[in-house]
């Protein structure tokens, strides 16, 4: 049972996945919010049943799964729909992340929550610390362009749609500035891994 739970977040193309992989290589369980969100509305789930109850059978694809493209259009056309959908999914995601982290073997666990800043840290009172994977905006845009093969205007819009760098840093207890190599990122995770193991051992 992990008594110390670390929330990990960061902007798009900041290196969150590489950071979580570095923790996993050290035997640390990482609970992923994106995966939990998909599972919350998986076929046969209570979450998907509630989506259908609220939005109708038009929310389903032919195979009975959530029609994500249709829901994206709906959310774009009606902002209230986003609020309704998030009210179904987010509580289930938080519950799943907490359960996975608390049940994890090892000295501590990590909850990877890309939109932690946007949702507010107060929504996750069971996080003992928040680790932000930080990256300068110019490098973030360059990585996004290279990774997704998109144009600069779209990259700017994607970054602008998220919380600001300052807002993320404001909720951070720990920060890794990921502006170097993967080896440098791994070394930074190694330092924090030792720190978190020490905190867990001390019951902090």
DSSP string, the chain: --SEEEEEEE-TTSSHHHHHHHHHHTT-EEEEHHHHHHHHT-TT-HHHHHHHHHH-GGGB-TTSSB-HHHHHHHHHH-HHHHHHHHHHHHHHHHHHHHHHHHH--SSEEEEE-TTHHHH-GGG-TT-SEEEEEE--HHHHHHHHHHHH---HHHHHHHHHTSPPHHHHHHT-SEEEE--S-HHHHHHHHHHHHHHHHHHHHTT-
* Model confidence band, residue 1 (pLDDT cutoffs 50, 70, 90): low
Residues of the chain with pLDDT > 90, as a percent, come to 71
Global pTM reads: 0.86
Mean pLDDT of 18-23: 98
């Amino acid at each position: 049972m992990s008594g110390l739970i670390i929330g990990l977040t960061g902007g798009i193309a900041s290196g969150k996945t590489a950071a979580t992989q570095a923790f996993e290589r050290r035997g640390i369980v990482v609970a992923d919010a994106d995966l939990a969100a998909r599972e919350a509305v998986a076929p046969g789930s209570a979450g998907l049943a509630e989506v259908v109850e609220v939005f109708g059978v038009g929310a389903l694809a032919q195979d009975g799964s959530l029609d994500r493209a249709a829901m994206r259009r709906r959310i774009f056309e009606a902002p209230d729909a986003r609020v309704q959908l998030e009210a179904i999914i987010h509580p289930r995601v938080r519950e799943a992340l907490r359960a996975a982290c608390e049940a994890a073997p090892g000295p501590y666990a990590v909850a990877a929550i890309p939109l932690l800043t946007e949702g507010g840290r107060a929504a996750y009172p069971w996080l003992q610390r928040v680790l932000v994977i930080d990256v300068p905006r110019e490098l973030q845009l360059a990585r996004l362009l290279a990774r997704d093969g998109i144009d600069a205007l779209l990259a700017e819009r994607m970054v602008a749609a998220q919380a600001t760098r300052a807002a993320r840093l404001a909720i951070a207890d720990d920060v890794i500035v990921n502006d170097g190599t993967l080896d440098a990122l791994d070394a930074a995770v190694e330092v924090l891994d030792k720190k978190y193991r020490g905190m867990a051992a001390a019951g902090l």
